[in-house]
A and B are shown apart, each in its own frame.
Chain A
Amino acid sequence: MTAGHATTVEAIVREFAADRTRLLDIIEAVQHQFGHVADNAIHAIATGLGIHAVEVEDTLSFYAFFDRQPRGRCRIRLSRTPISLMKGAQGVADAFTAALGIAMGETSPDGAFTVEWTSDIGMADQEPAALVNGRVLTALTPADVPGIVAALRQSGAADARLPNANIRSSLVQAGPVLSGELGGADIIRATLALPPEKVIEEITAAKLRGRGGAGFPTGMKWRLCRKAPGADHYVACNADEGEPGTFKDRVLLDEFPDLVFDGMTVAGYALGARHGLLYLRGEYAYMWDRLQRVLKSRRDRRLLGTAIGGREGFDFDIRLQLGAGAYICGEESALIESLEGKRGAPRDRPPFPTERGYLQQPTAVDNVETYACAARIMQHGAAWFTGYGTRESAGTKLVCVSGDCPRPGVYEVAFGMTVNELLDLVSAPEAAFVQVSGPSGQSVAPKDFGRRIAFEDLSTGGSTMIFGAQRDVLDVALQFADFFVAESCGWCAPCRVGTTLLKQGMEKIVAGRATLADVTATEQLANTVVRMSRCGLGQTAPNPILTTMRNFPEAYEARLQPGPFAPAVTLDEALREATSLRAHAPVTAEA
């Protein structure tokens, strides 16, 4: 780093007012400027913020999208999920490595390209998909790759002229929430007609529950947050949509951003908050400029800022926070840590975020879809909302359908729909199994297709991956186990070590080397990880294994070794190093 670079880093730190809680933005800006964050940049940031380098490194090294070493100027990240692989991602990866002459994870010698795998990027309905310097390419085929590489070589950057650089609208079926006007002044006017307590009563009467999948009653959360003492109250929107197979928040933010911001503004009014924060996953960085324009337009229309809707004393604004590749930040307390510029390690509760959240102040963290629903409730009333869905699960759910299905996309359906009805709706009646609510959810077998999408039955954040008879349920479970290894934050031992051990256990099972004792041991370990992990990630990481063991025991039985014990390593494997040194295989009795 030259003196000029140091000046640039110092300027970036100043741009964020040398505020330690903005460390994520500062690192992001330095990474954007230089392509990586070198050691002396780390020192310049630490000096500028008055903290230690080890603290900068703590945050920096946590996020998949930050680098300490130079990588390729064109950064190609291919989405690796069971869905992308079934749609041909491996062939696309092979085409990239062939065209570039490097392996996955490597950088070309001229420093022009890095190609690597990444976790789900929110494009499950148009896989194989990739991020190229933040721009999204979809529906890739190996034949597209030479053209993409040539275009990147020519321009040196990713722009809209790249082949496949378009995202098709994913909305297939809109229901009551996604129909009608896109939001705006009417919703705010209806809200301001009520005192804040009445707004919370309306949300409570509508029986709105958190759409991320946990289903906590939103009205209760808002009431707890409102009455919690604090110098400031915060409204946070969780747009860190990282659950593989989910892409509804992308649809909402792409096509209904005003509705989401309306919902946040409703919450701001109800809670007496002046600040809103929307945590946008790093994979959705392509939306950044557009969302900023929407926010500006809202400020211009006095739907944000001071005296919103002409109401003196109601001041509320929204800041966007960009994430940087960490599934765990979708966990609300990890999201708050990340908002504060730290590693996304969840917090222990109590205290809950409603008492002490962002900057230790009362904070309501809600899902993107929850805010959209809240806005519609204020527009049409609680009775309108409870007219849809079931007694326990009012309203509708945005279901993201992907996989072996001719019509993937987002469907807004009323809660209470059975899996069978959903499969008919999306023209996939032949499904062999359905992964409901992503890897952290459940693998549902046909015998359970009569179950209902609802908090009281099959609770879901929306991800619905459909697998046909040609798919191997254990392969999918192994890929999900691998996902949790990549995304465990590492803070607590059961999840950090357990996810790796579970993956190894599944590898042995899938390879057909496991005995019944191994399967039992893997199941016991999985249950320990569920019981002992600190946060929802660890507590649900074993679900792919546990739910497939429960629902597809025959798939496990088919791969079992007979006998009481099978070694973890094979003899050939154990002797591999010796064999290669001696340049011949061990001499056996038969020889």
Chain B
Amino acid sequence: MAASPIRFSIDGIAVEATEGQSVIEACDAAGIYIPRLCYHPDLEPSGTCRVCTCKINGRNGAACVTPASHGMIVENETPQLTDDRRTLIEMLFVEGNHPCPYCVASGDCELQALGYRLGMVAPRLPYQWPKHTIDATHPDIYLDHERCILCARCIVASRMQDGKTIFGFEGRGIAMRLNVDATGGLGATQMAAIDKAARVCPVACIVIKNDSYRVPNGERRFDIAPIGSDIEAKRKQAAS
């Protein structure tokens, strides 16, 4: 029996989905960008950042973990959701220490790019100024906890794709931290620079040494086009 097609609407635009697709996957395929931070197309979603929260059938839900279903009504670009998403981005900015002007990820950083896209002008929330140490024990990678936004991408990538389980969380609440599978730091683990886990960090927490300025500032992904442009380009192509 052929499965009947799943059709739903997002901001009034009709989208088709296949069985098992999440709202964000279906919208990505259709060229409709839902702002997101922790979600990565190659990884199981963790739903940690909640930036992709949409109003789905009248109730807020994260698009990355909500299965697409027939007849769904999704609201994405509403002033309320944009405002709430910007507040989430601001929360993550003040939770860690994110000095964009001299950060290695500037221009390539999804947090920074979302700040621009969502119209974050000046921080309204009080900086928390947490104290973190840098883990530089690994020869090829350093781990800068100042930047970690606890998205869980590296945890999922290491476990599911690298088969290593290098990363995990530690503690709870505002004290939660990214933890590594060795008391001696990242250098004492089996982590390698070619691991998927080393390549999925949305910010500059997991940084590959001697590689950071291969592309100079001003010529990086989000220096050239706002985050989400690649997804939206699909729809423009289809329309033309």
- Our pick among B66, B91, B166 for the contact of A494 (Cβ within 8 Å) is B91
| Contact status A61-B84, CB under 8 Å | no
Give the one of B80, B149, B165, B169 with max A CB within 10 A: B169
| Contact status B174-A496, CB under 8 Å | yes
Nearest opposing residue in chain B for A569, CB measure: B126
Q: How far is the CB of A586 from chain B (nearest CB, A)?
A: 22
Interface check A98, CB cutoff 8 A: no
| Contact status B65-A348, CB under 8 Å | yes
Interface check A167, CB cutoff 8 A: no
Interface check A532, CB cutoff 8 A: yes
A229 and B143 alpha carbons, distance in the complex (Å):
44
A490 and B174 contact, Cβ closer than 8 Å, known pairs A57-B179, A496-B150: yes
Interface check B95, CB cutoff 8 A: yes
| Contact status B88-A348, CB under 8 Å | no
| Contact status A62-B172, CB under 8 Å | yes
| Contact status A54-B172, CB under 8 Å | no
A55 and B176 alpha carbons, distance in the complex (Å):
14
| Contact status B91-A498, CB under 8 Å | yes
| Contact status A39-B149, CB under 8 Å | no
Which residues of chain B are within 8 angstroms of A343 by Cβ–Cβ distance? 169, 172
Interface residues of B in 40-65 (CB under 8 A from A): 47-50, 53, 60, 62, 65
Interface check A568, CB cutoff 8 A: yes
* Contact flags B60-76 to A (C-beta < 8 A → 1, else 0): 10100111000000000
Which residues of chain A are within 8 angstroms of B169 by Cβ–Cβ distance? 58, 61, 343, 490
| Contact status B126-A501, CB under 8 Å | yes
Interface check A29, CB cutoff 8 A: no
Nearest opposing residue in chain B for A490, CB measure: B176
Which residues of chain A are within 8 angstroms of B9 by Cβ–Cβ distance? none
Give the one of B80, B124, B168, B180 with max A CB within 10 A: B168
Q: How far is the CB of B183 from chain A (nearest CB, A)?
A: 6
Q: How far is the CB of B96 from chain A (nearest CB, A)?
A: 10
A486 and B175 alpha carbons, distance in the complex (Å):
9
A498 and B84 alpha carbons, distance in the complex (Å):
12
Interface check B223, CB cutoff 8 A: no
| Contact status A521-B124, CB under 8 Å | yes
Which residues of chain A are within 8 angstroms of B170 by Cβ–Cβ distance? 57-58, 61
By the criterion of a CB under 8 Å from any partner CB, how many residues of chain B are at the interface? 42
- Our pick among B92, B95, B165, B174 for the contact of A52 (Cβ within 8 Å) is B165
Interface check B215, CB cutoff 8 A: no
Q: How far is the CB of A192 from chain B (nearest CB, A)?
A: 39
Q: How far is the CB of B223 from chain A (nearest CB, A)?
A: 25
A61 and B171 contact, Cβ closer than 8 Å, known pairs A55-B165, A496-B176: yes
* Contact flags A67-85 to B (C-beta < 8 A → 1, else 0): 0000000000000000000
* Contact flags B119-137 to A (C-beta < 8 A → 1, else 0): 0000011101000000000
Which residues of chain B are within 8 angstroms of A57 by Cβ–Cβ distance? 168, 170, 179
A51 and B125 alpha carbons, distance in the complex (Å):
40
* Contact flags B155-181 to A (C-beta < 8 A → 1, else 0): 000000000011111111111100111
| Contact status B165-A489, CB under 8 Å | no
A55 and B165 alpha carbons, distance in the complex (Å):
8
Q: How far is the CB of B178 from chain A (nearest CB, A)?
A: 10
Interface check B18, CB cutoff 8 A: no
Which residues of chain B are within 8 angstroms of A498 by Cβ–Cβ distance? 91
| Contact status A531-B60, CB under 8 Å | yes
A493 and B49 contact, Cβ closer than 8 Å, known pairs A504-B126, A534-B62: yes
| Contact status B87-A525, CB under 8 Å | yes
* Contact flags B78-96 to A (C-beta < 8 A → 1, else 0): 0010011001100110110
A490 and B175 contact, Cβ closer than 8 Å, known pairs A52-B165, A54-B167: yes
Which residues of chain B are within 8 angstroms of A54 by Cβ–Cβ distance? 165-168, 179-181
Which residues of chain A are within 8 angstroms of B94 by Cβ–Cβ distance? 497, 501
* Contact flags A397-411 to B (C-beta < 8 A → 1, else 0): 000000000000000
Which residues of chain A are within 8 angstroms of B125 by Cβ–Cβ distance? 501, 525
- Our pick among B80, B87, B173 for the contact of A489 (Cβ within 8 Å) is B173
Interface check A491, CB cutoff 8 A: yes
Q: How far is the CB of B158 from chain A (nearest CB, A)?
A: 9
A532 and B179 alpha carbons, distance in the complex (Å):
26
| Contact status A528-B67, CB under 8 Å | no
| Contact status B172-A490, CB under 8 Å | yes
| Contact status B171-A350, CB under 8 Å | no
- Our pick among A61, A350, A500 for the contact of B128 (Cβ within 8 Å) is A500
A437 and B170 alpha carbons, distance in the complex (Å):
31
Q: Can you list 18 contacts pairing A with B, beta carbon distance less than 8 Å? A: A54-B168, A54-B181, A55-B168, A57-B168, A61-B179, A350-B67, A489-B172, A490-B169, A493-B48, A496-B174, A496-B176, A498-B91, A499-B174, A500-B128, A501-B94, A501-B126, A528-B84, A532-B84
Instruction: Enumerate chain B interface residues (CB-CB to A < 8 A).
Output: 47-50, 53, 60, 62, 65-67, 80, 83-84, 87-88, 91-92, 94-95, 124-126, 128, 149-150, 165-176, 179-183
Instruction: Enumerate chain A interface residues (CB-CB to B < 8 A).
Output: 39, 51-55, 57-58, 61-62, 326, 343, 348, 350, 485-494, 496-501, 504, 521, 524-525, 528, 531-534, 568
**Which 8 pairs across A and B sit closest by C-beta, in order of nearness?**
A490-B176, A54-B168, A54-B181, A497-B91, A348-B65, A58-B168, A488-B173, A52-B165
Sample of 4 further A-B pairs with CB below 8 A, known A57-B179, A487-B173, A499-B173: A61-B171, A491-B176, A496-B95, A532-B60
